[in-house]
Chain A
Amino acid sequence: MEEYRDLFLAEANEYLQNLNRCLLEMEKEPQGEQLTEMFRAAHSLKGMAGTMGYDLISGLTHEMESLLDQLRSGEATIEKEFIDLLFDAVDLVQLLVDNLENQDKFSAEVKALEKKLQAWGLRKELHKNLPPLEAEDEQEAEKDAAGQKQIAWEGLVNEFEKEMLKDAVSRGEKIYQIYICLRRGSLLKSVRAFLVLKNIEKQGEVIKTLPSIHELEEEKFDREIFLLITGKPDVAALKESLEKIAEVENVGIIEIVEQGEPKAWEITRDGIPGRKTSVMHPEAVNEQTALSLQDGGIALALKESDDSPEDISQVIKKARSLSSRSTEKTIRVETAKLDNLVNLVGELIINRTRVIELGKKTGDELLEGSLEQLERITAELQSVVMALRMVPIKQVFDRFPRMVRDLSVEKQKEIELIISGEETELDRTIVNQIGDPLVHLLRNAVDHGLEDREERISNGKDPVGKIYLEARHEGSHVVVSVEDDGRGIDPEAIKAKALEKNIITAEEMDKIGFEESLRLIFKNGFSTSREVTDISGRGVGMDVVKTSIEAINGTVEVKSKPGRGCRFMLRLPLTLAIIRTLMVESAKEVYAIPIEAVRENLYIEPRDIKTIQGDKVITLREEVLPLCCLKEILGMGRFEEQDIYPVVVVQTGDKKAGFIVDKLLGQQEVVIKSLSKFVNDIKGIAGATVLGDGRVTLILDVAGLLE
């Protein structure tokens, strides 16, 4: 079981997130789909927890499921308290999931909440005297009925399959729909499905399955399988043999009677119900079944997405939502494996460059040709692997609606959180690291940015405060902004607090402008750690936000309009793993300068260099730039007189300077490698990279060098 625990955790958290999201949506505007989705999530959670033996979770989710089922069948109305109750339940399940080892601690809470849920269910009973516990049976009954319902196959089969059906009918065979429902929480579902197929193939030809064969193989289905078969089977015997397969709970076989042209496929509703059918055609065994089955399966898997049948019954909706869920073509991979892959590809790229350099020396045309091929493939591989690291920022954003809701209840402020651009993709490491800073910014916006209702009304604002959380691409960066329409930041209050905390002096206080005063909130010591608790102060922990964003090569900006709101903008790099650099040589060593920091390169003559108070400067387009010799600031050598000096003009933030180097070598993309933990705190060095020839080159941290 242990090995399944991580999987359980990952999936359970996903379901819980779904539940939270649906509840939030439902709070705004109740819709049937949310109920169905929540029901499904609660149901899956229950099943998973049951399999794992987490009785508390399965018990609690069972109650949730029952209640949701009542709602779904319109037996209860959605009320505010009800949603709050479900929120409590979701929280408790989350708590249990987070504390799998010590679940028993919470058994009292679980029991209490289960009672509450049951009580609610009973109260809402309208005409049926079923206790909520039996709701599942109702659902079972529904599944039973599904065995008798027919799927609108005509919208699902492709031309090829239609031909096969036509052929079969012309051979005098019949068409059947077989419905299989596996037991809840069944393990080895794909094996069961395989056995089902095997059994059917003895008696007929499988034309189509829903979900597709491919999905069945990969266990991407819930419990139900629909099959469309042709042949002359002994229906009773077939049904019996199918029912004998372990973990098959329910089998239904219906004959589908074709009328007229196969195109206008109609299904007769009076098709013989599976249980009573007894047609005897035992000889119909098709040797080609396996092959055509596979072909059909694959063709279907491909085609399914562009099918759009008009007349869809409830069953098919269900079956299709099932299959659309299972066609999500994703797998879970441990991030460590992914990181390892990225690293290996980095190595491969480096070695490729080396091999190609060696290959060129031989002058062998055949070798050069295949090396070119190698270069192309590895370049493609590199871009694919880099894309693997990219994840949508949604992963972080998803937790905020719930957080803001809870905060708004706590603060008794009406707040609307408007999220946009959540599909924007960023490097996984960056996405992992912006969560906490964003929590901080959002909390600040709720606590101190937005006014309370009365104040908003008296200021002529919409009583509902708005917070906009947005992510978008901007050049090679992603900008994430948190904006509120609250009272904004009062520069005078900021200055007063900065003075109190000894960050600025009284004289400075008078000189500081509006923009600059806003930046004071990022100063270390502006807030004390004591205040970084549940209730944030405006600017509390802002230095932490700034430091953590800068740690991933990002920047933070703040803009504010007093009385109108304020806006924080985080500018983040797309990726941390590969960057473009300008390679320079200094003191016989090669250094890489991140291209983001490079403004321009130029060559200057000794007479261009001026001296101001002993420091070298140059005048570039009427701007005076400090000039420093790279090997001197690195402590690797002394400035030497030359006829001409190559200079790299660098800039970070508003700091700008010229670096004198020995040689400009050109641009190159490099894979960033961190320095060993023993030497990673060197100012001015951001990391290292390995060049094509295997040499190690340092990547400079311009901000560190300019300090």
Chain B
Amino acid sequence: MADNKDTVFEVQLVAFKLENEEFAVNIQKVREVLRMTQVTPLPQSAHFIEGIINLRGEIIPVVDLRRRFELSSGERNDQTRIIIVEIQDSNVGLIVDSVTEVMRLSSEVIQPPPAKVAGTRTDLIKGVGKISDRLLIVLELDRILTTQEKIALEEVTLGENAGV
């Protein structure tokens, strides 16, 4: 992907849907996919934290990705899934509308994010993949749980490296 520009390689992605957009995360970061389950709300946490769940004894925070991307909150149905991903060595759940497929893409196809994608926040996007007429937004997982203030701070310190 973007972190290695010299060589072309294949990445395997798990694709999922949020509203009408198609997103993806690197399969190496995905631990498992669960059906929607009961989530215990976590008081006084960031607005996009849905709560916590018990995954075989481990307490895992769950992020409502719709809220994270400031999309309208959709209804939960039997298509709703929680994708358990690994972020900085910890497991985190992501609530998505549905998981569509697992696909292989050449790293060439994935481009740096455009300025604006469907009103979403570009700092959470690692790149955009184009497959014929489909547009796949690849998530920057490390930023998912970071609050906006922290991101703003990071951007100030990063300065010249802002393109990453």
Contact = CB atoms under 8 A, between A and B. Distances in A.
B1 interface: no
Contact of B52 (A343, A347, A636, A679): A679
A679 B42 contact: yes
Given A343-B57, A675-B59, A688 B90 contact: no
B106 interface: no
A677 B40 contact: no
A73 interface: no
A676 B40 contact: no
A419 to B, nearest CB: 39
A694 interface: yes
Contact of A678 (B43, B58, B145): B145
A290 to B, nearest CB: 46
15 contacts: A636-B41, A673-B59, A674-B59, A676-B59, A676-B60, A677-B88, A677-B90, A678-B87, A679-B45, A682-B42, A683-B44, A685-B44, A688-B52, A696-B52, A697-B40
A683 B52 CA distance: 16
A674 B61 CA distance: 11
A9 B129 CA distance: 52
A309 B61 CA distance: 65
A288 to B, nearest CB: 52
Nearest to A344: B57
Contacts of A343: 57
B90 A694 contact: no
Contacts of B87: 678
Specify the main secondary structure of chain B where it touches its partner: strand
A111 B72 CA distance: 75
Interface string B132-164: 000000000000010000000000000000000
A688 B40 CA distance: 10
Nearest to B88: A677
A682 B54 contact: no
Interface residues of B, number: 24
A346 interface: yes
A695 B91 contact: no
Contacts of B25: none
B65 to A, nearest CB: 15
B94 interface: no
B63 to A, nearest CB: 9
B92 interface: yes
Given A676-B59, A682-B44, A690-B59, 6 more contacts: A676-B60, A678-B87, A685-B44, A695-B54, A696-B52, A697-B40
Interface string A683-694: 111001010001
A291 B41 CA distance: 64
Contacts of B56: 347
Given A589-B41, A634-B44, A695-B38, A679 B54 contact: no
A152 interface: no
Contact of B43 (A346, A350, A635, A677): A635
A581 B51 CA distance: 21
Nearest to A636: B43
Contacts of A674: 59
A694 B39 CA distance: 11
B43 A634 contact: yes
A698 interface: yes
Given A676-B52, A682-B42, A682-B43, A347 B92 contact: no
A695 B54 CA distance: 7
Of B51, B52, B88, the most chain A CB neighbours within 10 A belong to B52
Contacts of A698: 40, 42-43
B49 interface: yes
A293 B58 CA distance: 50
A346 B57 contact: yes
Contacts of B41: 589, 636
Contacts of B40: 589, 688, 695-698
Q: Which 7 residue pairs of A and B lie closest in terms of their CB atoms, listed nearest first? A: A634-B43, A696-B40, A347-B57, A678-B145, A676-B61, A679-B61, A696-B54
Interface string B27-67: 00000000000101111110001011110111111000000
Nearest to B37: A694
B61 A696 contact: no
B145 A684 contact: no
Nearest to B46: A679
B62 to A, nearest CB: 10
A511 B34 CA distance: 61
A686 to B, nearest CB: 12
Interface string A653-675: 00000000000000000000111
A584 to B, nearest CB: 14
B29 to A, nearest CB: 15
A695 B55 CA distance: 10
A676 B91 contact: yes
A696 B45 contact: no
Given A673-B59, A679-B61, A684 B42 contact: no
A343 B90 CA distance: 17
Interface in A472-489: none
Interface in B72-119: 87-88, 90-92
A696 B40 CA distance: 6
Contacts of A688: 40, 52, 59
A684 B90 CA distance: 23
Contacts of A694: 54
Nearest to B39: A696
A674 B91 CA distance: 13
B28 to A, nearest CB: 20
A589 B38 CA distance: 11
Contact of B57 (A350, A589, A683): A350
Contacts of A690: 54, 57, 59
A675 to B, nearest CB: 6
Contacts of A695: 38, 40, 54
Interface string A615-640: 00000000000000000001110000
A679 B38 CA distance: 18
Contacts of A679: 42, 45, 49, 52, 61
A257 to B, nearest CB: 66
A414 B58 CA distance: 53
A685 B43 CA distance: 8
Nearest to B144: A678
Contacts of B54: 690, 694-696
B39 to A, nearest CB: 8
Contacts of A673: 57-59
B142 to A, nearest CB: 11
Contact of B61 (A636, A678, A684): A678
Nearest to A343: B57
A674 B60 CA distance: 10
Contacts of A677: 88, 90
Contact of A682 (B45, B53, B92): B45
Contacts of B51: 696
